[in-house]
């Protein structure tokens, strides 16, 4: 209750009778709101006036004004007290539940498999130190668990996802590279057979080359021998002709070498 109910009119301005109202009216000095001069009407407005200062409010009502921010702060204080009363010492330490440990392991394994990292990635000291800094209670899976249990889990999870996508798709496109290698069907005898065919081809090629070279060489030599035989019969062979014969022989050898090189180049 206010100390002096009559003092409330110090916060209002008397307007007297204002038509069409028959009762006297007053105007609030804080927000200019007009109301009936009756005491209960003036007190009701003053309690809800949004512009009255705390000092005036407490001076008349004897208690501070309760605002929405005050209510919110009081609620936070009460909630904090209740939380502290029900708090457990374990809540102040990092803790990982079994479900959270499993979920984090699967997420870590997915990252490792998608990036093509080795199973031993979890055993690297920098990675272990980094994870401990993020969440000390989380234990990285071992290499064995990564290669068995987690790999199987991720495979089944991915397979279900792919099967669902195929089931929901209206059209499908299948692409293959056309290369097939089956370890079971691989036969060492086929490899040796291929080598034998390659060797036989090389022998035939060499025989053909030798035949061509020998034929041409025989023709050249026959012609040369005939010419030389004629020269000897006519006694016209002298030192100069001998030099020419040597020069012709060198020329034949050069032509033969050039022909061999051209033939090999074209053959390849």
pLDDT in tens, 97-133: 889 999 999 999 999 999 999 999 999 999 999 988 8
Confidence band (pLDDT; 50, 70, 90) for 18? confident
* Nearest Cα residue to 28 out of 64, 6, 44: 44
pLDDT for residue 78: 60
In angstroms, the CA 31 to CA 235 distance is 151
At 66 the pLDDT is: 66
Name the average pLDDT for the chain.
75
Cα(130)–Cα(227) distance, integer angstroms? 95
Q: How far apart are CA 49 and CA 26, in angstroms?
A: 14
Q: Is the pLDDT of residue 20 over 90?
A: no
Pick 32 or 212 by higher pLDDT: 32
Q: For residue 31, what are the CA distances in angstroms to 7, 28, 52, 67?
A: 18, 6, 8, 17
Check if the beta carbon of residue 15 is closer than 8 Å to that of residue 27: yes
pLDDT value for 109: 92
73 pLDDT higher than 80:
no
Q: Collapse the DSSP code of 123 into the 3-class scheme (helix H, G, I; strand E, B; otherwise coil) and give the result.
A: helix
Q: Mind listing the pLDDT tens digit for each residue in 152-177?
A: 999 999 999 989 988 888 888 877 77
CA 190 from centre of chain: 44
Provide the 3-class DSSP secondary structure of residue 16. strand
The torsion defined by the Cα of 196, 199, 200 and 203, in degrees rounded to 10, comes to -160
3-class DSSP state for residue 27? strand
8-12, 58-62, 108-112, 154-158: least confident range = 58-62
pLDDT at 151 over 70: yes
Average of per-residue pLDDT across 86-95:
66
Percent of the chain whose predicted confidence (pLDDT) is above 70: 57
Structure confidence at residue 68 (pLDDT): 57
The pTM of this model reads 0.35
Average pLDDT of the residues in 197-212: 54
**Where exactly are the structural domains of the chain?**
5-66, 98-168, 223-268
- Cβ(148)–Cβ(142) below 8 Å: no
Cβ contacts of 207 within 8 Å, gap of 6 or more: none
Strands of the 12-17 sheet, one edge to the other? 12-17, 24-28, 34-36
Residue 268 has pLDDT above 50, yes or no: no
């Amino acid at each position: 209750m206010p100390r002096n109910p009559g003092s409330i009119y110090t916060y209002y301005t008397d307007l007297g009778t204002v038509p069409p109202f028959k009762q006297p009216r007053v105007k609030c000095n804080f927000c200019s709101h007009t109301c009936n001069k009756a005491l209960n009407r003036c007190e009701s407005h003053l309690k809800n006036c949004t512009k009255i200062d705390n000092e005036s409010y407490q001076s008349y009502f004897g208690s501070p004004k309760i605002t929405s921010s005050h209510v919110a702060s009081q609620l936070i204080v009460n909630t904090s007290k209740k939380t502290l009363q029900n708090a457990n010492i374990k809540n102040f330490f990092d803790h990982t539940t079994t479900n959270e440990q499993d979920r984090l392991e699967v997420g870590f394994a997915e990252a490792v498999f998608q990036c093509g990292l080795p199973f031993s990635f979890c055993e690297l000291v920098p990675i272990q130190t980094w994870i401990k800094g993020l969440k000390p209670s989380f234990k990285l899976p071992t290499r064995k668990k990564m290669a068995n249990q987690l790999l199987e889990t991720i495979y089944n999870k991915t397979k279900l996802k792919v099967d669902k996508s195929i089931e929901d798709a209206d059209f499908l496109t299948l692409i293959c590279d056309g290369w097939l290698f089956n370890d079971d069907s691989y036969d060492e005898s086929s490899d040796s057979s291929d080598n034998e065919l390659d060797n036989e081809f090389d022998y035939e090629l060499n025989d053909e080359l030798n035949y061509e070279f020998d034929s041409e060489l025989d023709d050249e030599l026959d012609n040369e021998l005939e010419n030389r035989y004629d020269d000897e019969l006519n006694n016209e062979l002298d030192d100069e002709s001998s030099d020419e014969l040597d020069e012709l022989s060198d020329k034949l050898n050069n032509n033969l070498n050039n022909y061999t090189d051209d033939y090999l180049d074209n053959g390849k």
